[in-house]
């Protein structure tokens, strides 16, 4: 994580600890409840649900075709759920409320021949801002997202990365009460990622709930207060990253014994060797296995220079969550 993003997240803290950070705890404001959607025999969503609190950021993860975009389109009224609903402060979302949402669709919706500044002003006016306020907001967000020198350029003249920044500015320019963004970091360079991350964190500080989808799981892990993982139309895991780690089957311990003989840990009851490279060994412990027994075995084989529980990354949690049961069973049998 860049220093800028780290400082911004620290500054955004408030009230209740979540995944090593602190976030507001003012109840649910945005609720996706039991969404179902099918196209013929293709079941795109099956009971998808999650909640987002004011001032919190929710990362929506899943492979292509998992149902992320469909979920967002239902929230915006662009697709109709077969069952379930999306609620704002306890009431079903209506068109009036949707006008107060900053939305970035998967299909980018810019006018290629319109100038950047004019386009942002136009989108702000569509959301009900008066001409003067819309012009000020367009100037502010084009500047903050690195587009100040491009305000007079037609969108079609911009690089793909800068077009992405314009699309993001269009979602932010109306001072929305909610942000729903489909792959907002896609195509951005590191400077653009920092600029967007800072902007989203600032929105959270102002109490705006943010929902975004992304394949960049490192960004989701760094920025988000909570995460939802979709697979085959179902929410297979949700919560803070720390909560997902606690639910993960098995506990992985890293033990480094530089002079250890290969296979030293295989005889320890309740222990499975995940990997072994030189003296660096990853071990998965069964529930109830005492890590001190592992330490004693390690000390018998040589000098221990590292002994600590290893935290799974969001990438690893994602892979485990989206694997189908048959694949998971095969992995477990091979490991055994």
The reported pLDDT for the residue numbered 27 is 61
Neighbouring C-alpha atoms within 13 Å toward the C-beta of 286: 10
**What residue ranges define each of the domains in the chain, with the CATH number in brackets?**
3-240 (3.40.50.300), 249-311 (3.30.70)
Q: Report which of residues 331 and 160 the model is more confident about.
A: 160
Strands 30-39 and 42-52: antiparallel
Average pLDDT, the chain: 84
Residue pLDDT, tens place only, 179-227: 999 999 988 889 888 888 999 999 999 999 999 999 889 899 899 999 9
The reported pLDDT for the residue numbered 28 is 67
State mean pLDDT over 301-310.
90
The reported pLDDT for the residue numbered 109 is 79
Instruction: Using alpha carbons, select from 144, 70, 158, 152 the residue that is nearest to residue 115.
Output: 152
**DSSP string for residues in 113-178:** TSBHHHHHHHHHHHTT--HHHHHHHHHHHHHHTT-GGGTTSBGGGS-HHHHHHHHHHHHHTT--SE
The reported pLDDT for the residue numbered 325 is 52
Q: Is the pLDDT of residue 49 over 60?
A: yes
Taking a C-beta distance cutoff of 8 angstroms, is the pair 197, 144 a contact? no
Question: H or E stretch including 87?
Answer: strand 83-88
State mean pLDDT over 289-312.
90
Residue 212 in tokens = 């975004």
């Amino acid at each position: 994580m860049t220093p800028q993003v780290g400082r911004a997240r620290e500054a955004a803290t408030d009230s209740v600890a979540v995944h090593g950070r602190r976030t507001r705890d003012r109840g649910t404001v945005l609720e996706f409840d039991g969404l179902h959607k099918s196209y013929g025999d293709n079941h795109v969503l099956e009971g998808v649900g999650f909640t987002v609190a004011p001032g919190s950021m929710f990362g929506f993860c899943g492979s292509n075709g998992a149902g992320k975009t469909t979920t967002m389109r239902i929230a915006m009224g662009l697709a109709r759920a077969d069952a379930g609903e999306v609620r704002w402060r306890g009431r079903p979302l209506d068109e009036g409320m949707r006008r107060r949402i900053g939305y970035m669709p998967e299909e980018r919706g810019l006018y290629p021949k319109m100038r950047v500044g004019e386009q942002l002003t136009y989108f702000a006016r569509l959301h009900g801002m008066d001409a003067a306020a819309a012009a000020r907001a367009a100037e502010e967000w084009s500047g903050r997202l690195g587009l100040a020198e491009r305000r007079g350029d037609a969108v079609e003249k911009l690089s793909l990365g800068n077009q992405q920044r314009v699309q993001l500015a269009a979602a932010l320019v109306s001072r929305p009460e909610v942000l729903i963004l489909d792959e907002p970091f896609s195509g951005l360079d590191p400077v653009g990622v920092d600029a967007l991350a800072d902007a989203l964190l600032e929105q959270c500080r102002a109490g705006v709930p943010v929902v975004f989808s992304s394949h960049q799981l490192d960004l989701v892990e760094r920025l988000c207060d909570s995460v939802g993982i979709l697979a085959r139309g179902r929410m297979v895991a949700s919560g803070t990253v720390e909560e997902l780690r606690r639910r993960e089957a098995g506990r992985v311990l890293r033990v480094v014994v530089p002079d250890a003989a290969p296979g030293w840990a295989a005889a320890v009851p309740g222990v499975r060797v995940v990997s072994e490279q030189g003296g660096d060994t990853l071990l998965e412990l069964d529930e109830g296995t005492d890590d001190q027994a592992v330490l004693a075995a390690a000390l018998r084989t040589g000098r221990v220079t590292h002994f600590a529980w290893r935290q799974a990354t969001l990438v690893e949690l994602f892979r485990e969550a989206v694997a189908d049961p048959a694949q998971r069973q095969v992995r477990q049998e091979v490991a055994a």
